[in-house]
Amino acid sequence: MPPKASLTQRLFWYLLCLSVLIRTGITFFETPNIALAPELTQDYNDRSRLISYAHFFAWSGGNFMNIAMLFIVFPLFVTGSMSEAVSSRAPYTAYGVIASVLIFISIMVSSAGTHSRIPTLYSPPQQRKLTVPKIFKEIFETLANRSFVSIFAASMLGAMGLGLKASLHLYFVSYFWEFTPAETGYLSIGIFLSAFIGFKIAPFVSERMGKKNGAIIVGLVAFVAAPIPICMRLFDMLPANGDPIIFWFNLILGSLILA
């Protein structure tokens, strides 16, 4: 059982240790699962297709669970505002049980579906003998590549930003914007809309600006536009919470930024 909320220090360590254990458990499946793609096929396009499917189902599955939480699970336990739903324990208990069952089913289906491919898996070449100095030498050679360092740094900063946004999302929609669970669910549906928008505009941007320049310019526009709703609210440039304009403004701008 978790410690009482009043014991903040114990609760912090409980959540921290549990989060690390959960992430470690995910790694035991996720890392071998992704690493299996190069062994299933040696063709570059086929590998890219397999990994694309994996990312698509991981992304869409997580988003579907979020939508189900907001449209189905929350209304079953809470009838009030989003802030009331967020602070209630019952919907999260149900969500955790449902998500755990679905995760287990996904792992078993993936494992059983690839089990028959074991005899035909690619046999890796004989393992090299690596010493500690040689390992560090290869690491430093990789870090000496400016292109790799740029991509790595950008990916790290992007992941930090996305993680921070995801962590604070429920607090913003609940207490800052005071949306209802249904409105928050429609915002999640907007994520699917953003994927289709991005799919349509990506070739156009790439053709007109080039991949590198297009990615930089579009990324900067999204970076600048992301805090606009919050800044407008802080400077009293938006109507009061509860006005439909607030919801539609966040839905449209949020979908375009994600796209």
Tokens of 69: 């939480």
> Model confidence at 160, in pLDDT bands (50, 70, 90)?
confident
Asked whether residue 44 carries a pLDDT value surpassing 80, the answer given is no
Greater pLDDT, 82 or 214: 214
pLDDT tens digits, one per residue of 178-219: 888 778 888 888 777 777 777 677 777 777 777 777 778 887
In the predicted model, is pLDDT for residue 25 greater than 80?
Answer: yes
> In this structure, are residues 180 and 79 in contact, taking their beta carbons and an 8 Å threshold?
no
H helices present in the chain, as ranges: 8-35, 37-40, 44-68, 74-77, 82-86, 90-115, 132-143, 146-171, 181-209, 211-225, 228-234, 244-258
- Which has the closest alpha carbon to 13: 1, 25, 2, 27? 2
Predicted confidence at residue 190, as pLDDT, reads 79
If you count them, how many residues does the chain have?
259
6 burial via Cβ count (<10 Å: 0-12, 13-18, 19+)? exposed
Helix (H) or strand (E) holding 241: none
Residue 210: left if φ>0, alpha if ψ -120 to 50, beta else—which one?
A: left
Enter the pTM of the model.
0.67
Give me the helices (H) in 116-145, please.
132-143
The whole-number pLDDT of residue 7 equals 65
